[in-house]
């Protein structure tokens, strides 16, 4: 597997004893309370351009630009600068932790293995909980953090995935190849939701597979906050744009179950690898109406998940997934035990979903949540449309292990894990060793005080009057990562990094 | 154009959920959720009504 990947998760925030809450102030305070090793307010925004479209043009504005301008106007009244409001913290594991307008957001560093991703995702959760506990203890009003995607009022926030791909895979092949996969994968990576919504409103009570499936109304676009697209066209590689592209996936749910995250990211990476390796266009499953299929699958009370294919035949979401599985076996067969295990797990979950979806409650968020809450609902005689179910749904996503229902299930032994529990949880904050994140994290850990700016694609350090740029835009091979790690380990000062082929004085 | 959707095939699950470094079965056969159900009774039914966020990405 050559594809590298990462997650960026926006977190819901509340307080136990506050009826009215300024969520922006809460998010800023939470991010600023972090004491984990890293560098603060040195993120280099010059490298960000969310207006560039992968279809080959630059949009003049995003749909959310007006809203964002209004938010910035409101935020201007706060006694904080733009940089202080964002409060970017680049951590020693190479991750980014900051306030994304009204949500604390943790972006994992780039990962090269699924085990690294599980570790880094859990490290972010632990960091968030540490911050919440500190603020709660100091104020006497506990902070409640939710790793979910909605407030049940139509306000959704994301858990985005990023996949680094060779630019040689054309955008049309990529978008065309992934559409049906992204629509149907919710059968195993949905986080479950007690409610149906539309943009900006609650619609009605009812269970569905995915938190996010109510919020997509375009096939492709560069937008991420309004009229969201199934396939996001943002072209911001955070790498050499002549060589690479970053596939920015905004349709996924935030998963609590590490197994669901493992399946979500692992299967997506494998399908992308199959496309890179030349999986033919005519073998790609196509849906007649992907935008209609997304909520139809999610809300199907029978859990049969029938979809109409472009040719007119009816299939199930499971059959669509199996078609992708066959493509992966043929065009991206696993070459090591980790990826072979992922293929087995994908195959097994499809089989179990076909036999009895409830049998996947030991792996998947939506079936685990449904089984637990339905057991409670029936035992307590609660009506299927009782708003209490939405409160219980929220509680599944509480990030505090002492309170969250997911963690209660985990402690009871109800969940299978993709890796040993001690590997995933409770690990010290450390960068993945297989990617350029080890270089970003290494510079921060060793020369934090001299880091002038940091970004996904580079770090600038000061050494006396000199400024040294470690250019990470093309540091993806194992050889380059190893050379960078060795140079950082041997360096006594930032200028020593100039021995690297991808570092220079600026 | 060939139909890319394959007929469902019965594929036996891999022993132990996969080989190598893959997933392992849970350590208990039947999870004890009694304590968890008690925790759920304490969840404030109004909690979701008070929960309000801004739209994110």
> What confidence tier does B7 reach under pLDDT thresholds 50, 70, 90?
very low
Tell me the average pLDDT across A155-166: 98
What pLDDT is attached to residue B22?
Answer: 56
What pLDDT is attached to residue A66?
Answer: 79
Q: Does residue A167 have a pLDDT over 70?
A: yes
CA A128 to chain centre: 15
What pLDDT is attached to residue B27?
Answer: 52
Give the nearest chain A residue to B48 (CA atoms): A391
Q: How far apart are CA B52 and CA A208, in angstroms?
A: 20
Write out pLDDT tens, residues A243-257.
999 999 999 999 999
Write out pLDDT tens, residues A202-246.
999 999 999 999 999 999 999 999 999 999 999 999 999 999 999
Q: Does residue B21 have a pLDDT over 60?
A: no
What pLDDT is attached to residue A77?
Answer: 84
Per cent of chain A over pLDDT 70 is: 100
Shortest CB distance from A419 goes to which of B21, B32, B41? B21
Is position A100 annotated as part of the catalytic site?
Answer: yes
Q: How far apart are CA A220 and CA A237, in angstroms?
A: 18
What is the C-alpha radius of gyration for chain A, rounded to an integer number of angstroms? Answer: 22
**Is the CB of A10 less than 8 angstroms away from the CB of B14?**
no
Write out pLDDT tens, residues A389-440.
999 999 999 999 999 999 999 999 999 999 999 999 989 999 999 999 999 9
> What confidence tier does B3 reach under pLDDT thresholds 50, 70, 90?
low
For residue A293, how many C-alpha atoms fall within 13 Å in the half-sphere facing its CB? Answer: 28
Q: Does residue A350 have a pLDDT over 50?
A: yes
Give the bridge partners for A193, in sequence order.
A208
Shortest CB distance from A283 goes to which of B4, B10, B13? B4
> What confidence tier does A329 reach under pLDDT thresholds 50, 70, 90?
very high
Burial tier of A490 (Cβ tally within 10 Å: 0-12, 13-18, 19+): exposed
CATH 3.10.450 fits A4-424, yes or no: no
What pLDDT is attached to residue B24?
Answer: 58
Handedness of CA A289, A290, A291, A297 (dihedral sign): positive
> What confidence tier does B55 reach under pLDDT thresholds 50, 70, 90?
very high
> What confidence tier does B47 reach under pLDDT thresholds 50, 70, 90?
very high
Q: Does residue A65 have a pLDDT over 90?
A: no
CA distance B4 to chain A (A): 5
What pLDDT is attached to residue A72?
Answer: 75
Residue that wins the pLDDT comparison between A69 and A395: A395
Q: Does residue A46 have a pLDDT over 90?
A: no
**Is the CB of A100 less than 8 angstroms away from the CB of B22?**
no
**Is the CB of A412 less than 8 angstroms away from the CB of B18?**
no
Q: Does residue B9 have a pLDDT over 50?
A: no
**Is the CB of A319 less than 8 angstroms away from the CB of B8?**
yes
Residue that wins the pLDDT comparison between B11 and A13: A13
ipTM of this predicted complex? 0.93
Burial tier of A92 (Cβ tally within 10 Å: 0-12, 13-18, 19+): buried
Q: Does residue A200 have a pLDDT over 70?
A: yes
Handedness of CA A186, A191, A197, A200 (dihedral sign): negative
**Is the CB of A319 less than 8 angstroms away from the CB of B45?**
no
> What confidence tier does A4 reach under pLDDT thresholds 50, 70, 90?
very high
Structural domain boundaries in chain A? 4-424, 437-505
Task: Show which of residues 1-57 on chain B sit within 8 Å of chain A, judged by CB atoms.
Answer: 1-6, 8-11, 13-14, 17-28, 31-33, 35-37, 39-41, 43-57
What pLDDT is attached to residue B32?
Answer: 76
What pLDDT is attached to residue B13?
Answer: 32
Q: Which residues of chain A does B52 touch, with a Cβ-Cβ cutoff of 8 Å?
A: 21, 23, 151, 153, 155
Per cent of chain B over pLDDT 70 is: 46
CA A223 to chain centre: 17
Q: Which residues of chain B does A30 touch, with a Cβ-Cβ cutoff of 8 Å?
A: none
Per cent of chain A over pLDDT 90 is: 93
Q: How far apart are CA A376 and CA A369, in angstroms?
A: 11
Q: How far apart are CA A477 and CA A137, in angstroms?
A: 45
Interface test with B, best of A202, A393, A408 (most B CBs within 10 A): A408
What pLDDT is attached to residue B29?
Answer: 54
Q: Which helix (H) or strand (E) holds A248?
A: strand A244-249
Q: Does residue A170 have a pLDDT over 90?
A: yes
What pLDDT is attached to residue A308?
Answer: 98
Q: Does residue B10 have a pLDDT over 50?
A: no
Q: How far apart are CA A451 and CA A463, in angstroms?
A: 9
> What confidence tier does A67 reach under pLDDT thresholds 50, 70, 90?
confident
> What confidence tier does A368 reach under pLDDT thresholds 50, 70, 90?
very high
Q: Which helix (H) or strand (E) holds A442?
A: helix A437-447
Report chain A's mean pLDDT, rounded to a whole number. Answer: 96
Write out pLDDT tens, residues A289-323.
999 999 999 999 999 999 999 999 999 999 999 99
Q: Which residues of chain A does B45 touch, with a Cβ-Cβ cutoff of 8 Å?
A: 386-388, 391
Q: Does residue B4 have a pLDDT over 90?
A: no
Q: Which long-range contacts (CB under 8 A, 24 or more apart) does A138-144 make?
A: A141/A15, A141/A16, A141/A17, A141/A18, A142/A15, A142/A16, A142/A17, A143/A13, A143/A14, A143/A15, A143/A16, A143/A26, A143/A30, A144/A13, A144/A14, A144/A15, A144/A16, A144/A398, A144/A400
> What confidence tier does B17 reach under pLDDT thresholds 50, 70, 90?
very low
């Amino acid at each position: 597997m050559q594809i590298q990947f990462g997650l960026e998760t926006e977190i819901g925030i509340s307080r136990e004893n506050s009826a009215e809450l300024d969520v922006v102030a809460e998010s800023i305070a939470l991010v600023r309370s972090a004491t984990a090793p890293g560098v603060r307010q040195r993120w280099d925004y010059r490298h960000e351009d969310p207006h560039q479209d992968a279809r080959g043009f630059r949009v003049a504005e995003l749909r959310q630009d007006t809203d964002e301008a209004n938010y910035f106007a409101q935020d201007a009244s706060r006694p904080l600068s733009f940089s202080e409001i964002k409060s970017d913290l680049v951590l020693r594991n190479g991750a980014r932790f900051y306030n994304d307008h009204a949500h604390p957001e943790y972006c994992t560093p780039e990962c090269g293995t699924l085990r690294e991703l599980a570790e880094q995702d859990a490290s972010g959760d632990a960091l968030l909980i540490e911050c919440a506990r500190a603020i709660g203890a100091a104020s006497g009003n506990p902070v409640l953090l939710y790793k979910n995607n909605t407030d049940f009022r139509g306000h959704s926030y994301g858990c985005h995935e990023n996949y680094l791909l060779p630019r040689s895979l054309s955008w049309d092949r990529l978008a065309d190849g992934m559409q049906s996969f992204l629509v149907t994968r919710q059968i195993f990576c949905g986080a479950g939701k007690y409610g149906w919504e539309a943009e900006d409103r609650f619609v009605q009570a009812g269970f569905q597979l995915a938190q996010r499936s109510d919020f997509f109304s375009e096939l492709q676009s560069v937008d991420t906050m309004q009229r969201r697209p199934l396939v996001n066209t943002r072209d911001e590689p955070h790498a050499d744009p002549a060589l690479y592209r970053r596939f920015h996936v905004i349709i996924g749910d935030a998963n609590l179950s590490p197994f669901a995250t493992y399946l979500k990211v692992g299967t997506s990476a494998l399908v992308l690898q199959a496309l890179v390796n030349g999986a033919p266009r005519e073998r790609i499953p196509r849906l007649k109406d992907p935008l209609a299929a997304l909520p139809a699958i999610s809300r199907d009370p029978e859990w049969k998940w029938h979809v109409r294919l472009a040719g007119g035949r009816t299939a199930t979401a499971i059959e669509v997934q199996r078609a992708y599985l066959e493509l992966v076996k043929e065009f991206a067969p696993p070459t090591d035990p980790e990826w072979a295990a992922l293929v087995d797990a994908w195959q097994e979950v499809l089989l179990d979903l076909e036999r009895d979806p409830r049998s996947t409650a030991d792996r998947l968020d939506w079936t685990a949540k449904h089984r637990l809450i339905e057991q409670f609902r029936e035992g307590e005689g609660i009506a299927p449309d009782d708003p209490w179910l939405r409160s219980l749904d929220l509680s599944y996503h509480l990030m505090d292990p002492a309170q969250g229902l997911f963690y209660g299930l985990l402690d009871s032994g109800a969940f299978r894990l993709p890796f040993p529990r001690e590997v995933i949880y409770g690990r010290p904050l450390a960068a993945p060793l297989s990617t350029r994140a080890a270089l970003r994290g290494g510079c921060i850990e060793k020369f934090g005080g001299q880091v002038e700016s940091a970004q996904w694609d580079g770090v600038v350090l000061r050494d006396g009057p000199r400024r040294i740029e470690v250019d990470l835009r093309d540091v993806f091979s194992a050889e380059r990562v190893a050379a960078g790690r060795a140079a950082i380990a041997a360096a006594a000062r930032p200028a020593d990094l100039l021995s690297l082929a991808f570092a220079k004085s600026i | 154009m060939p139909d890319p959707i394959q007929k469902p095939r019965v594929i036996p699950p891999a022993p132990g959920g996969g080989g190598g470094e893959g997933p392992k079965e849970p350590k208990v056969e039947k999870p004890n959720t009694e304590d968890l159900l008690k925790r759920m009774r304490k969840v404030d039914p109004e909690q979701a009504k008070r929960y309000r966020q801004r739209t994110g990405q």
